[in-house]
């Protein structure tokens, strides 16, 4: 079963807010000068911000804020966030892999930005929605 | 120089307790746009059987990233943090984190490998209450990029 796609807009302001909330002030997430200086195309989102947005999608699919039992991802490509009002978008979809008798459901997740996968091996185990 | 694989299995003393605050959970949930009431309203969380507001699934990174400085700053290992990028991340929950928790982090170096001139350092952080009750196990794989 395929779950409905969720789209998240990501702007520079979101990255600043996430930096403050998470305590991750690495300048690659807010300074173009620093980001390009280390060879990035520009400011990129925190991998953990992308993971948090995908976690939101998973929790919303599960229909419960506390449904996630296990959640892991590999960061494969940066989410580049331009310095404009539109920012960029992360699209998230998932397939239900299986449901166990213990009441757990395993999801295989796909997250893309501009048509390219930004995560691989993205998997979650949730309590099966009732 | 590749990271020394003899550090696999190295453990670190538990960190000082971290008091999970209701406002910190709200702040984190707001920053990621997570609007579910149980992240914000203690009554909504209690209705789900929790003592106070629930933290979103990736919230423990707030504690574990700070705790991982123990490893990154360990001069014996010699990680060049300016070359570190985040490879993998995983959370395996015993129960959700809730406001009022007092949590400690115990770090272990679980794996070290080298491939293509890059080093890969996998850490496991066992997050427990001060009483020792397990809450969440957190794995991070850091990639230390080789000098081009």
Pick from B63, B54, B57, B58: nearest CA to B126: B63
Q: Return the residue matching tokens 């990129």.
A: A44
Percent of chain B with pLDDT over 90: 87
Please answer whether residues A107 and A123 qualify as being in contact, where contact means their C-beta atoms are separated by less than 8 angstroms: yes
Token representation of residue B50: 């929790």
Token representation of residue A93: 């979809």
Confidence of residue B148 (pLDDT cuts 50, 70, 90): low
Task: Output the pLDDT for position A18.
Answer: 98
Q: Return the residue matching tokens 């930005």.
A: A113
Task: Output the pLDDT for position B12.
Answer: 96
What is the rounded CA–CA span in Å between residue B8 and residue B29? 35
- Tell me, yes or no, if B42 comes closer than 8 A to chain A by beta carbon: no
Over residues A18-74, the pLDDT tens digits come to: 999 999 999 999 999 999 998 899 999 999 999 999 999 999 999 999 999 999 999
Q: Who among B32, B66, B86 is closest to A75 (CB)?
A: B86
Residues of B in contact with A118 (CB under 8 A): none
- CB spacing of A66 vs B54 below 8 angstroms: yes
Residue A12 pLDDT > 90 = yes
CB within 8 A of B47, min separation 6: which ones? Answer: B38
Over residues B66-104, the pLDDT tens digits come to: 999 999 999 999 898 888 889 999 999 999 999 999 999
The residue of chain A nearest to residue B88, with distances taken between CA atoms, is A74
3-class SS of residue B57: coil
The domain ranges of chain A are: 2-9+45-127
Which domains are assigned to chain B? 5-21+54-144 (3.10.129.10)
Fold classification of A2-9+45-127 (topology level)? Thiol Ester Dehydrase; Chain A (3.10.129)
């Amino acid at each position: 079963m395929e779950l409905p796609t969720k789209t998240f807009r990501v702007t520079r302001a979101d990255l600043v807010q996430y930096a403050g909330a998470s305590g991750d002030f690495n300048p690659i997430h807010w300074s173009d000068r620093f980001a390009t200086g280390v060879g990035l195309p520009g400011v990129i989102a925190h991998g953990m911000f992308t993971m948090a947005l995908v976690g939101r999608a998973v929790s919303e699919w599960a229909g419960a804020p506390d449904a996630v039992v296990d959640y892991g991802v590999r960061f494969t490509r940066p989410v580049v966030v331009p310095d404009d009002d539109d920012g960029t978008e992360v699209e998230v979809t998932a397939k239900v892999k299986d449901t166990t008798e213990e009441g757990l459901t395993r999801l295989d997740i796909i997250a893309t930005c501009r048509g390219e996968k930004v995560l691989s091996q993205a998997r979650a185990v949730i309590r099966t929605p009732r | 120089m590749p990271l020394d694989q003899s550090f696999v299995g190295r453990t670190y003393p538990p960190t000082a307790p971290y008091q999970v605050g209701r406002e910190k959970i709200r702040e984190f949930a707001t920053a990621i746009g997570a609007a579910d009431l149980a992240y914000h309203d203690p009554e909504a969380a209690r209705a789900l059987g929790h003592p106070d507001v629930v933290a979103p699934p990736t919230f423990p990174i707030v504690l574990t990233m700070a705790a991982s400085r123990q490893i990154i700053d360990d001069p014996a290992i010699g990680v060049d943090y300016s070359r570190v990028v985040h490879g993998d991340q995983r959370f395996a929950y015993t129960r959700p984190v809730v406001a009022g928790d007092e949590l400690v982090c115990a770090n272990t170096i679980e794996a070290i490998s080298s491939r293509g001139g890059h080093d890969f350092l996998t850490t496991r952080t066992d997050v427990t209450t001060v009483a020792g009750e397990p809450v969440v196990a957190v794995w991070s794989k850091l990639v230390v990029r080789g000098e081009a």
